[in-house]
Amino acid sequence: MKQKLTTPPESARDIETSSHIPVNPLYTPADLKGSDYESEVGYPGEYPFTRGVQATMYRGRLWTMRQYAGMGDAEESNKRYKYLLANGTTGLSVAFDLPTQIGMDSDHCMAAGEVGKVGVAIDSIEDMQRLFDGIELTKISTSMTINATASILLALYVAVAKRQGGDIRKLSGTVQNDVLKEYIARGTYIYPPQQAMRVITDMFAWANERVPDWNTISISGYHMREAGSTAVQEVAFTLGNGMAYVEAAIRAGLDVDKFGPRLSFFFNAHSNFLEEVAKFRAARRMWARIMREHFKAKNPRSWMLRFHTQTAGSTLTAQQPENNIVRTAIQALAAVMGGTQSLHTNSYDEALALPTEQAARIALRTQQIIAYESGAPQTIDPLAGSYYLETLTNEIEKRAAEYLGKIEVLGGMLKAIERGFVQQEIQNAAYEYQRQVDHQESIVVGVNRFEVEEEKAIPIQRIDPALEPKQIDRVRALRAKRDAGPWKAALAGVEDAARSGANVMPRILAGVEAYATVGEIADAMRRVFGEYKEAVVI
């Protein structure tokens, strides 16, 4: 006997996902009638890659387990990398401090108090050598979260690999190198957008010849989501940025099928489990169509959206921090169910400080438990066919496509950013979410419900204050001992290339090998490109 569905209470009728997609009490085949699920879902490893970019997915190979780490100076960070490798991490992920991110040496007056605080301080090739001491770069995949100075840090990485005697063509990894989201959400930009895009396309061309297995950009929705965007906005604005990079590269004379296969993406994983799974599937399908139909790419590898995922730092709470272990596990499982290629899991203490070793180990173990105990990797796209999941996938694609249509009307992503459209949309979403939390329309466990009176203190990571003066002494000692002739010639070469339109990457590599510092090379390009000042949009 069929059970009759009763009318749900009023509260159940108003349920929405975090992107304000209404959620029905029940989904049936009728919800998918005439949709892409019926016509073009396809198989894993086949266009449009809704179900995954690899035919075998995790049955063939597990995702790369990365743990984002960097603190203090190179020696301290090197110890953490070796600790993580010893505990089973399968790829490195480097966090740089703010001075390194914005092209200032550790002894710059504006770097005071920031050296080594939110990542590792890297001023020169000597620091980079210390960072990877005892780690063979041709045998490990390294992700570097660096944007405005990505060209300099990639050059440092290549220079260190050369000093190790390695074949640089065997290097594998990623530089984030996504400056557009810096103008939108983070602020660690240096140069104006057009000049920054020129450096990025120079890197595309250079790396394609010199380090062909390196991902020269990780187009990032993560930071826009951290700033408060919805899942739909994360997909739309990330793919919009991706289109802007492809257009810039094509204008620079590059073949889309030469650089297209090396593009990678970086997404956030939040706690609305099924919406997140659907988000990843929708993004894959949309990018496949954009590359094949809009940019006319012919190589199937150019159509594939390969992505790294990090669990959501903005969801971690200082209240009852142990709850963050559960949040991270749910988010990590969503990334795996959504078909990520690599994953970082946040540590439970990150709302308080940089992670302790114990917290970082628990975060890594979370991935390992999903990989080896949950059964999730045993079959490909295990949630496919769920009426709700497929409906969400279609709805996210539809709403993200509407955003891309608005951006096209505004003249493209750069124009949309310059006019403040993207920033305003994210700010509105962030405000609306905070309003919901304040009014208990959205529940954050331990924050606006289920609080406790007293909480026990947990151990937190502290950066030794002696590390900053030590790092300053090092960079000054390097300047005092280096050969001035090659150093001056190398910096002049960087400036000349920036001014003439020649590819800056060979000159930057020559600069780091001549002991030019990160700040000095960034300044050489500042003298030509200038610095970006954000316009006030009223």
The confidence score (pLDDT) of residue 494 equals 98
Give the chain's mean pLDDT. Answer: 94
**What span, in angstroms and rounded, lies between the C-alpha atoms of 387 and 398?**
16
The confidence score (pLDDT) of residue 5 equals 47
DSSP type of residue 69: E
> Worst-scoring range by mean pLDDT, 51-55, 69-73, 437-441?
69-73
Mean pLDDT of 169-178: 96
Q: Which domains does the chain have, with CATH numbers?
A: 30-61+176-307+375-438 (3.20.20.240), 67-165+463-531 (no CATH)
Beta bridge partners of 67: 92
Cα distances from 486 to residues 83, 247, 254, 460, in angstroms, run 38, 37, 32, 44
The confidence score (pLDDT) of residue 12 equals 47
Contacts of residue 279, defined as CB under 8 A and 6 or more positions apart, other chains included, come to 231, 232, 234, 235, 267, 338, 396
Give the pLDDT confidence of 181-223 residue by residue, as tens digits: 999 999 999 999 999 999 999 999 999 999 999 999 999 999 9
Give the pLDDT confidence of 90-130 residue by residue, as tens digits: 999 999 999 999 999 999 999 999 999 999 999 999 999 99
Residue 118: helix, strand or coil by DSSP? Answer: coil
| Residue owning tokens 């996504």 | 178
The confidence score (pLDDT) of residue 446 equals 96
Contacts of residue 131, defined as CB under 8 A and 6 or more positions apart, other chains included, come to 74, 77, 78, 81, 94, 120, 122
**What span, in angstroms and rounded, lies between the C-alpha atoms of 134 and 1?**
68
pTM recorded for the entire structure: 0.93
Q: What are phi and psi of 213, to 5 degrees?
A: -95, 10
| pLDDT reading at 9 higher than 70 | no
Strand-pair category, 263-269 with 64-69: unpaired
The confidence score (pLDDT) of residue 291 equals 98
Residue 214: helix, strand or coil by DSSP? Answer: strand
The confidence score (pLDDT) of residue 7 equals 46
